[in-house]
C-alpha cells in the first residue's frame, strides 16, 4: 500500500465548512477545547472531524440520559407516572392515604384549637394578678392540663 502524504493545513473557514458550521461556531468549539488548536500549517481535517464526532457522541448520550429527550426515556417516565398513580389510587381506596385537603383542614382545626386555648390561658392572667404565686401556678396548671386533655382526646 502506498503511504498517504501528510495533509496540508487548512484555514478556519475550510475546517468550519468541512463540519458544516460557521467559522464563529468553530472558534467557540476551539475555545471550549472540543476541537484541537491549529498547528503551524493549519487545521488537520481528520483530527478536527474525529474530535467533533467524539464531542457529538458524548453530548448525545448525555441528552439521552435526561427523561423526555428520547422516546425510551419518555416511555419510561410515563410508565413510572402511571404506576405511581395506581399506587396512590389503591392507597386511597384502602384508606392508607389521606388527601392533602383533608389533612390541611384537620391541621388548621388543630392550630385554631391550640391558639384558642393559649389565648384562654392568657385571658385568665388578669384575674390571677393579685393572688399568691401558688394559686396562680395551680390555675395555670389546671388550664394547661385541661387543654392537653382536650387535645389528647381529639376534642374539637
Q: What is the pLDDT of residues 45-65, one digit of tens each?
A: 999 999 999 998 888 765 555
31 or 66: whose pLDDT is higher? Answer: 31
Q: Band of the pLDDT at 67, cuts 50, 70, 90?
A: very low
Q: Is 10 helix (H, G, I), strand (E, B) or coil?
A: strand
Nearest to 55 by CA among 19, 22, 24: 19
pLDDT score recorded for residue 61 = 61
Quote the longest CA-to-CA distance of the chain.
114
How far is it, in rounded angstroms, from Cα 98 to Cα 67?
A: 30
Which of 7-11, 103-107, 123-127, 134-138 has the highest mean predicted lDDT (pLDDT)? 103-107
pLDDT score recorded for residue 1 = 42
- Cβ–Cβ under 8 Å, residues 151 and 114: yes
35 or 145: whose pLDDT is higher? Answer: 35
pLDDT score recorded for residue 47 = 92
Ranges 21-25, 29-33, 50-54, 102-106: which has the least confidence = 102-106
In DSSP terms, 33 is beta-bridged to: none
pLDDT, tens digit (0-9, with 9 covering 90-100), for 87-122: 888 887 887 777 788 888 988 888 888 888 778 777
Average pLDDT, the chain: 81
| Torsional sign, CA 57, 58, 63, 65 | positive
Does 28 have pLDDT greater than 80?
yes
35 φ/ψ angles, rounded to the nearest 5 degrees: -105, 135
Nearest to 11 by CA among 36, 34, 45: 45
- pTM reported for the whole predicted model: 0.38
- DSSP result, 19-78: TTS-HHHHHHHHHTTSSPPPBTTBB-HHHHHHHHHHHHHHHHHHHHHSTTSSHHHHHHHH
Residues whose CB falls within 8 Å of the CB of residue 67, separated by 6 or more in sequence, listed in order: 73, 74, 76, 77
Amino acid at each position: 500500500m502506498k503511504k498517504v502524504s501528510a495533509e496540508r493545513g487548512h484555514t478556519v473557514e475550510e475546517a468550519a465548512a468541512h463540519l458544516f458550521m460557521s467559522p464563529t461556531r468553530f472558534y467557540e468549539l476551539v475555545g471550549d477545547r472540543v476541537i484541537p488548536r491549529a498547528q503551524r500549517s493549519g487545521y488537520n481535517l481528520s483530527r478536527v472531524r474525529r474530535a467533533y464526532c467524539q464531542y457529538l457522541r458524548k453530548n448525545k448520550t448525555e441528552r439521552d440520559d435526561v427523561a423526555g429527550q428520547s422516546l425510551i426515556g419518555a416511555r419510561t417516565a410515563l410508565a413510572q407516572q402511571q404506576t405511581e398513580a395506581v399506587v396512590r389510587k389503591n392507597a386511597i381506596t384502602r384508606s392508607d392515604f389521606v388527601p392533602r385537603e383533608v389533612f390541611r383542614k384537620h391541621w388548621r382545626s388543630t392550630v385554631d384549637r391550640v391558639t384558642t386555648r393559649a389565648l384562654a390561658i392568657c385571658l385568665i392572667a388578669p384575674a390571677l394578678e393579685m393572688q399568691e404565686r401558688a394559686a396562680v401556678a395551680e390555675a395555670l396548671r389546671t388550664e394547661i392540663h385541661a387543654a392537653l386533655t382536650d387535645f389528647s382526646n381529639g376534642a374539637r
